[in-house]
Structure 1
Amino acid sequence: GMPQVLLRFMAIRSADDIKQSRRIGIIWATLSLGAAVLIGLIGRSMFPMALTTASTSETIFIEMATLLFPPLLAGIVMSGILAATISSADSYLLIAASAFSKNIYKGVLRKDASDNQVMAMTRMILIVLAILGIIIALDENSVIFTIVSFAWAGFGATFGPLMLFSLFWKKTTRQGAIAGMLTGGIAVFIWKLLIKPIGGVFGIYELLPAFILSCVAIVIFSLIGEKPSAAMEEEFEMVKSQSKA
């Protein structure tokens, strides 16, 4: 459900490159996420009594690079943190600003807005979002992992089930899509803020229950609403046969 990743697939040169891209993506994700877990495990064994709070523990990569590498090499290694941050931040900022200016400003608030007005609104929203991000970053006690995991839960539960059902279940309807997105997005906030603090079995990551509820909503509202048109089902079968070929 991450839009900056989906855009890469939408902009791919041809459908023939999908399989190769899938393999590269899975291999890279396995290596990068596995390395992140190993860094955490090794760092904890190297600094058992340090970095005991959630916010300071996120600096373990910097501490390890400073200890294990000479200054020049440590600087090169740590620049990867900044590179990863910039590559993700610019995508999120552009997507959020464009989505607001196109879908809300021009689509709802001012339908007769010109391209220049939409561009001006995009730049304004971009600046506002950047300032909000800076304000959040100024909090020394904030935990980046908590913020990112909450954002990913929202993306995953809101758009993930809908994408899967749209690709593999031809009975998915517009009503089911809207219900699934609303249910998944709202459930993330409710579970995170109201249910998860109870603890126990309710202390699980909010993405899981929200994802399940979104799937249920898609199925229910797709079945009780109007059925997809014959043209839509025909297009679904055509795409399905092409993907198998």
Structure 2
Amino acid sequence: MNYLEIITFTLYFAVVLLIVFLSYKKQKSDKDFILGDRKLNFWLTALSAHASDMSSWLFLAYPAQIFLLGGFNIWAGIGLTLFMYLNWQFIAPKVRIATEQTNSLTLNAYFENRFADRSSSIRLVSGLMTLLFFTIYICAGLVGMGFLVESLFGVHYAIGISIGLFIVMLYVFLGGYTTVAWIDLFQGFFLLGVILVIPVYLLFQLDGFTPIATAAKAQNLSLSLLPDFKPNTLYQAFILTAGWGLGYLGQPHIITKFMGIKNVQDMSKSKYLGISWQILALTGATLIGLIGIALFPNGLENPELLILNVVQQNLHPFFAGLVLCAILAATTNVMAAQILVVASSLCEDFYKRLFRKKAKPKELLWVSRFSVLFISCIAFIVALFKVTTIYKLVLYAWTGLGTSFGPLLLISLYSKKINRFGAFAGILTGGTIAAIGPYLGTVMKIEFPSMIVGFAISSLSIISVSKITKKYELQKLNLEN
């Protein structure tokens, strides 16, 4: 690694640690640690929600799919943008109001309080789904970080993920929700600048899109969104769009960002700011994948390291260092948000609910922090095995969270004809289908659309079980803002 790249890395992480130090003193209770006492402005909310969403998937996995499969895979980006807009429009304001009225710090606590579940069954099953799928999600980030550090420094993969995990644990353990939000704001602008500057610069170097089109034709790759209008092509486009997009409705690490905004009336500002950021970021990532087709016509040994090869071969070492910082930032952003959600779940849904119902805020704050250590160690052990690609790991976890929580959250905000039995059934069926979906597809030798099937069956389970049991006991809410 060039010494200029090392200097860039050092300066970047010095800024991150400064933010950690400044926000550490503000954390006085579990409420501060988990939701920042609901005092975030619309800038922080918008950039935090989107920066904590776009992990190494944005820089490594998504461009690799464009690089390998061509323009058709852009439907994944379209689906994400469309459904995130719907998330802001129909979920964000209501979930902010509902969680405050039910005095809920986590999504799992909201479900329990909303349905007046005194048996703890909803909180426990939702807590288990949170632990299962977030562990996989955090593993995806660690795998990406391990690949990156291994390639950059020539160190062993295990050392790579250890370095990355230490950085993330440090600023989550010390700062909590507000720290993660401020770092997301800083890194959100940084990520956007990097992912837009690279393709613009390289397109000038290539003299436009002609070399990309020529290389794609030589590789028999289509750059079109729809190579043809055959039923199977249209079906695959729908699967990509909905298969990714629907997941937004149930991602706890994104939903909690909505819960922390100070004024609900500012949610609209956050929506337009956040969606603008997402469109620009996905456009930049798409262009990087397309440019890779021209730069590497013979392919790469590991396509998910496309951007690493691009910047090291085409940029000055200082700017290459900035890009590599951005990739690490994208990974650490999401891992931090996810670890925080899991730590919150362990503290609120298990420790406080089952063992210490009258625990003091300071005690819960430290339980949250030690939960960060616990879940990080588990994710580290699993990530050591490198079972599959980053893309597949993220899709598996994304699907699991989306089908477990998305249908119930949506229905709970818009219907009074559901109860705790339906809620429990919805979480269990959605999560189970997502968990076994890939294996069903392998056995049946088909592409099993786990997200779409799981979302539909979870929704039907919620409605049908609630209708059969007919005992509606919900906490009353006033969701007008």
Shorter chain as denominator, the TM-score bin is 0.7 to 0.9
Indicate the residue corresponding to 2:442 in structure 1: 197
Deviates more, 1:131-140 or 1:147-156: 131-140
One of 431, 445, 461 as aligned partner of 1:217: 461
8 Å CA contact retained: 2:437, 2:448 = no
8 Å CA contact retained: 1:180, 1:217 = yes
Task: Give TM-score, length-normalised by structure 1.
Answer: 0.83
SS in 2 for 1:62: helix
Counterpart mapping for 1:42-53 below 5 A: 42-52=291-301
Q: Which amino acid aligns with 1:60?
A: L
Q: Which amino acid aligns with 1:70?
A: H
The reply on whether 1:114 has 2:359 as its aligned counterpart is yes
Deviation at 1:127, TM superposition (A): 1.9
Q: Which amino acid aligns with 2:466?
A: S
Q: 1:158 to 1:42 in 2, by over 3 A?
A: same
Higher relative contact order (CA 8 A, sep 6+): 2
Deviation at 1:172, TM superposition (A): 2.6
Q: Which amino acid aligns with 2:467?
A: L
Percent pairwise identity? 31
8 Å CA contact retained: 2:416, 2:474 = no
The reply on whether 1:34 has 2:283 as its aligned counterpart is yes
Indicate the residue corresponding to 2:324 in structure 1: 78
SS in 1 for 2:442: helix
How far apart in 2 are the matches of 1:199 and 1:65?
41
How far apart in 1 are the matches of 2:297 and 2:359?
59
Unaligned runs of 5+ in 1: none
Q: 1:223 to 1:45 in 2, by over 3 A?
A: farther
Indicate the residue corresponding to 2:310 in structure 1: 64
Aligned length: 231
Deviation at 1:38, TM superposition (A): 3.0
Counterpart mapping for 1:150-189 below 5 A: 150-189=396-435
Deviation at 1:149, TM superposition (A): 1.3
Counterpart mapping for 1:8-23 below 5 A: 8-23=257-272
Q: 1:38 to 1:211 in 2, by over 3 A?
A: farther
How far apart in 1 are the matches of 2:389 and 2:251?
21
How far apart in 2 are the matches of 1:47 and 1:199?
36
4+ runs of 1 displaced by more than 6 Å? none
8 Å CA contact retained: 1:98, 1:122 = yes
Deviation string, structure 1 residues 78-104 (Cα, Å, up to 9, x no partner) = 211111111111121121122113212
Deviation at 1:23, TM superposition (A): 1.9
Q: Which amino acid aligns with 1:168?
A: Y
Task: Give TM-score, length-normalised by structure 2.
Answer: 0.44
Unaligned runs of 5+ in 2: 1-249
How far apart in 2 are the matches of 1:231 and 1:149?
34
SS in 2 for 1:184: helix
Deviation string, structure 1 residues 165-215 (Cα, Å, up to 9, x no partner) = 12222323222221111111111112123x121355x31342221111111
SS in 1 for 2:430: helix
Q: CA RMSD in A?
A: 2.4
Indicate the residue corresponding to 1:143 in structure 2: 389
Deviation string, structure 1 residues 113-147 (Cα, Å, up to 9, x no partner) = 73466455444432232223333444456422211
8 Å CA contact retained: 1:171, 1:227 = no
SS in 2 for 1:59: helix
SS in 2 for 1:104: helix
How far apart in 2 are the matches of 1:13 and 1:123?
24
The reply on whether 1:6 has 2:255 as its aligned counterpart is yes
Q: Which amino acid aligns with 1:75?
A: G
